[in-house]
A and B are shown apart, each in its own frame.
Chain A
Amino acid sequence: MRILTLGIAAFGVLLWLAHGNPSAADGAMFANGLLPPVPVPADNPMDAAKVELGKQLYFDTRLSKDSTTSCATCHSPDHGWADPKPVSEGVGRQKGGRNAPTVLNSAYMPLQFWDGRAATLEEQALGPIQNPVEMAMTMVEALDRIKAIPGYVEAFRRIFGTEPTEEGVAKAIAAFERTVISTDSPYDRYVRGNRSAMSPSAVRGMNLFNGKAHCTPCHSGPNFSDGDFHNLGVGYAAGRYADKGRFDVTKNPADLGKFKTPGLRSIALTAPYLHDGSERTLADVIEFYDRGGNPNPNLDPLMLPLHLTAQEKADLVAFLEALTGEPVKITPPTLPPAAGGK
């Protein structure tokens, strides 16, 4: 009788516990899953006209010193809203120090840039315009150029009720970037219940991603990023960091060599990888992780050799490819002509 009672009690508890895969909705801290609606700040509500203005500004090379470079030059829709070069080239073919991160799903990131120096998309949007090796303008110069284009002046007046301003430029570009969203991937369809949406290899890869390969603690949540900063040892050699990353923002020694965890949605479209573009393919990235990153004094404690088999590596690549969402349908905008029709 005692065993029977125990058995019934245990069975009841087991039923209580066995309620399926843990998910973010269950309170599981690092679960991936479906993307929630795009977060929109209260002071910059979405508006079709604003998004269209932002798209025009995003594609407009006139916002750069020599009118050769726009946001889309380095964050190209044809290349997963990123740059296929390891590091991008700005005006005068000057090279930047880091690989251009994708704009895809940047709206979900709590901080912007690899080192998180911008707190919002609005703040980020003005950065490249003023960066001397990217678009090399001052905001005064950029606004002068915008004000010289009647179509922009009219659009700003209609949308913001003012002449073109720094704040308006930032809000318009950020609003546009909030429409550049990767979703409805095979992974999303699988999570919604279509068990044939991912290949068996991708399903195995998903289990590895969230297990033996130790990806989820950093690539967590629906956007596959914790939004935090980690040191993988990328670029560390001969006792020094080629790029100090987050440290340059915080000046905290604990942040030396740390960079923001990128989201992984549509990652297959955004090669090359890592903050310096040093890994050419997803397979190369997995090799990098398999050996536990590059040893350095500030290496993240979760960077450990993984001993993945060749099949497991292939499965992980298959899973990452299954995160590729439907293409973001963007038709290049018609840019307003400058005064005099130029």
Chain B
Amino acid sequence: MRTNAMRSVSRLGLGAAALCVAAALMQPASAVPVFARKYGFNCTMCHSAFPRLNDFGLRYRRNGYRIPGRENLEKLVYETPTPLAMRTSVGYNSETFSNTPETTNVAEFQLNGLDMLSAGLLGRNIGYFMVYTPQIAAGRGVAGQDGALEAANVVLSSPRSTWFYARLGRFEPAYVPFSVKRSLTVASYEIYDFAFPGGPPFADTRTGVEITGWGDPGIRYAAGLIDGSDTNSASDSPADMYLRLEKVIGAGEGQTAGHRIGLTGYRGLARPESGASPRKSFTRVGADASMNVGIWNLGVQYLHGEDNRELWGTAENVKFDGGFAELLCHPRTDLVAFARYDWVDTPSSVRMGVNRWTVGGRYYLEDSVAVHLEYSHRTQSPIQTGLGHATERLFTARVDFAL
């Protein structure tokens, strides 16, 4: 008689075999997402390991989707190949929960969402970037996703100076130094997900305006005014503002070369999820660093937050701390390994203290086709009195690709 453990091993083996077959059958794909197709580049021009940007990619994005120093050569979106791209992944997912009501374990092959992207230049100094995620109903073999225009923004660049760029629309804000949209891991950055009830995850794309700039001696800044929490009503003025300063040490941007330290301050106003009462304030203050030595990158984020008690419905204001330390090893262009520790410390009244370990790696069959293996173990403070710590074990083996 087969035990549960044996059945799990069999499923994993089947999944791994299927992945190998899929990888073997897959035709070598051209690296042709939007920008690569426009310029004739491989993805690794801008990505150290797709989807993570390298220093070149970071400078390109910050320069309003124009190659720094080559602005006079740029073509507009009307002059270039079709500015469309997609990203999805398919593979085996296993998620096992304990002491977590209203969750369902998963152990099956799944399609993991779909992103549709468009980007380019609308004018010599006007870039745009859009990501649409169509609504996909969850079902057997399909991990559902909400339909959303995840990002749609225009970047206005000063023709004379790198000290002024304006990004308008819905965008991934610059106060998030480690992009969740271009993260190598499936497991989320816990501190970026942390929010009061009804509040948006810190790292979500936001709607508003952001001013950025950069120049010598390695100084970068960003400041923004955004609508803020979804609990605000349409008649509320833009509620949140932020400021970020970075200093880069050495050649590069600290992403794949050199080192970077950053400071972030954020102040927002939000209505409690229950609605009626006036808006209450919340703040975030953070420090982060990214260091590169040879094939290693160490990224560290610390964030402190304080939310008005009414946002949580607690007797006291909620103060919390959290962050992560992420180590990447990139020994070859086609291979990257990662390990990360996430934590969030909260008052006992909130019951949302988290610890998470994540390890894994990606092997690239082509620039834009990665075999992704990841294991993550998450522990959270007891969600209800009488329950033990809530745990989640995530294992995924998938092929992640863009075209």
Residues of A within 8 A of B (CB): 2-3, 6, 10, 13-14, 16-18, 20-24, 26-32, 207-208, 210-212, 214, 216-217, 220, 226, 230, 291-292, 295, 297, 300-307, 309, 312
Contacts and interface: CB of A to CB of B under 8 A. Distances in A.
Contact of B403 (A14, A208, A291, A302): A14
Contacts of A297: 216
A301 B68 contact: yes
B136 A292 contact: no
A30 B74 CA distance: 10
B67 A217 contact: yes
A120 B222 CA distance: 46
Contacts of A32: 40
A216 B44 CA distance: 12
Give the interface size class of chain B. Answer: 35 or more
Contacts of A302: 56, 59, 67-70
Contacts of B265: none
B55 interface: yes
Contacts of A10: 86, 114
B217 to A, nearest CB: 10
Interface centre among B37, B43, B45, B80 (most CB of A within 10 A): B45
Interface stretch (B181-189, B198-206, B251-259, B344-352): B251-259
A20 B32 CA distance: 8
Contacts of B331: 309
Contacts of A16: 82
Contact of A211 (B41, B75, B403): B41
Contacts of B54: 212
A309 B39 contact: no
A23 B331 CA distance: 30
Nearest to B294: A307
A32 B31 CA distance: 15
A60 to B, nearest CB: 40
Given A17-B32, A301-B59, A6 B39 contact: no
Contact of A214 (B43, B56, B137, B332): B56
B380 to A, nearest CB: 32
A301 B71 CA distance: 12
21 contacts: A16-B82, A17-B86, A22-B30, A22-B37, A26-B81, A29-B80, A30-B41, A31-B40, A208-B44, A210-B40, A211-B45, A217-B39, A220-B40, A301-B68, A302-B56, A304-B252, A304-B253, A304-B257, A306-B257, A307-B256, A309-B295
Contacts of B251: 291-292, 295, 303-305
Contacts of A291: 251
B70 A217 contact: yes
Interface centre among A14, A22, A24, A312 (most CB of B within 10 A): A22
Contact of A18 (B32, B56, B68, B139): B32
Contact of B367 (A28, A211, A292, A295): A211
Contacts of A305: 251-252, 257-258
Contacts of B37: 17, 22, 26, 28
Given A16-B82, A211-B367, A305-B258, A30 B295 contact: no
B339 to A, nearest CB: 19
Contact of B134 (A6, A20, A21, A226): A6
B120 to A, nearest CB: 12
Contact of B39 (A29, A230, A307): A29
A28 B45 contact: no
